[in-house]
Amino acid sequence: MATAKFAEIKEYIRRHIEAGEWEENTRVPSENQLAEQFGCSRMTARRALTELVEAGVLERSQGLGTFVASLKSQSSMLSIRNIADEIKGRGHGHSVQVVELAAINAIPPIAIALGLEEGTEVFYSLLVHCEQGIPLQLEERFVNPSLAPGYLRQDFSQLTPHEYLSHVAPLTEARHTIEAIMPKEQIRNSLNIPEGEPCLQIIRRTWSRQGVVSFARLVHPGSRFRLGGHLTFK
């Protein structure tokens, strides 16, 4: 399975950092150096560095270069929790409706999100998570088969994708985008909500040490879901 050049560069940088070879504040190779080393364009090398900067792994200093970020800047303000645990923690029953589970060819946005070439086969799942039998979350997920080869063989009515992926490809990094949306008819039907009810949508990419594991869209009815958190300032 082909891996995009920018993903190879990101993995190369991560390996050096995780192995302790590049410590905090170490300057990483420049765009030109990476482009020459990996036989790619400077734009491709820039994309790899930019994504690692956005993830908090690296940081840029104008006129000086790009450096390994301090550990403090790599933490996430939003925790990753298993929805089944959240529901059970409230003393309620969790159930799942498996709508679709299949292998598909990745269209450009999905291929980019997973760091793969367009048309590469990826795993796809569409699930509805319910609390006390009432739909709470529509989970649409695209998975890198090389990092979770047994994904399509799982019984997701008994085991959530989060639980399975955490076992086979432990999470090392995640990125979220959260927004309010007006859902289309298909989503409203899946969540059993009326026309006009807004939803909260979370777009999430997760990484393991080997690369991007999954790209997911999580949609929740506005009347049944809220996000919260606790921050400690030192």
pLDDT at 1 > cutoff 70 = no
Is the model's pTM score more than 0.75? no
What pLDDT shows up at residue 134? 92
User: For 77-99, what is the mean pLDDT?
Assistant: 79
Q: Is CATH 1.10.10.10 correct for 5-74?
A: yes
Q: What is the CATH code for 83-221?
A: 3.40.1410.10
Q: What is the DSSP letter of 187?
A: H
Q: At what angle do helices 31-38 and 5-18 cross, to 10 degrees?
A: 110
Question: Where do the DSSP E strands lie in 78-198?
Answer: 94-105, 121-131, 134-143, 173-181
Q: Which residues contact 186 (CB under 8 A, 6 or more apart)?
A: none
In terms of C-beta density within 10 A (0-12 exposed, 13-18 middle, 19 or more buried), how is residue 59 classed?
middle
Report helix, strand or coil for 138.
strand
User: For 154-162, what is the mean pLDDT?
Assistant: 94
CB 46 within 8 A of CB 31: yes
What pLDDT shows up at residue 107? 93
Range of 71-75, 176-180, 182-186 with top mean pLDDT: 182-186
Regarding predicted confidence, which is higher, 143 or 54?
143
Q: How does pLDDT run across 34-50, given as a tens digit for each residue?
A: 999 999 999 999 999 99
- Mean pLDDT score across all residues of the chain: 87
Which residues in the chain are classed under CATH 1.10.10.10?
5-74
